[in-house]
Amino acid sequence: MKQVLVVEDSRTEQTMIVSILEKLGHQTHVAETAEKAMEWLASHQPPDLIVLDIVMPGVNGLELCREVRANPLLKTVPIIFCSSKDQDFDRFWALRQGGNAYITKPFEPEELIETINEYLPPLS
């Protein structure tokens, strides 16, 4: 079972993402803010994947991504950005910060599933 950290401040989005991940057989952990995500990351084994929103109160997802990439223990953890920011520049900038993939909200569940499966192949 793979561990996935979901960093998302919207309860609706949290519920949908967690539901999809659990149906795929992954264990999820949710942080509503980047600060809570950093606390979780500091006190747990690195997750197998991070699903990360950009627009959140306090520290944003881009800043959190940079912090994760600067940490030797976390720098190889795949990060899937999941954001309402839908401009090409937003996608470009998120991937430049160290993100591996970028999905725009609202998204189709199938799009998230395919992206997750790229980084966490389905259990056979």
For residue range 54-110, what is the model confidence (pLDDT) as tens digits? Answer: 999 999 999 999 999 999 999 999 999 999 999 999 999 999 999 999 999 999 999
Per the listing, tokens 């999905």 go with 103
Alpha-carbon distance values, 24 to 42, 89, 116, 117, 122 (Å): 26, 31, 9, 9, 7
For residue range 10-21, what is the model confidence (pLDDT) as tens digits? Answer: 999 999 999 999
Residue 122 has pLDDT above 80, yes or no: no
Residue 124 has pLDDT above 70, yes or no: no
For residue range 26-42, what is the model confidence (pLDDT) as tens digits? Answer: 999 999 999 999 999 99
DSSP H or E run through 101: strand 101-104
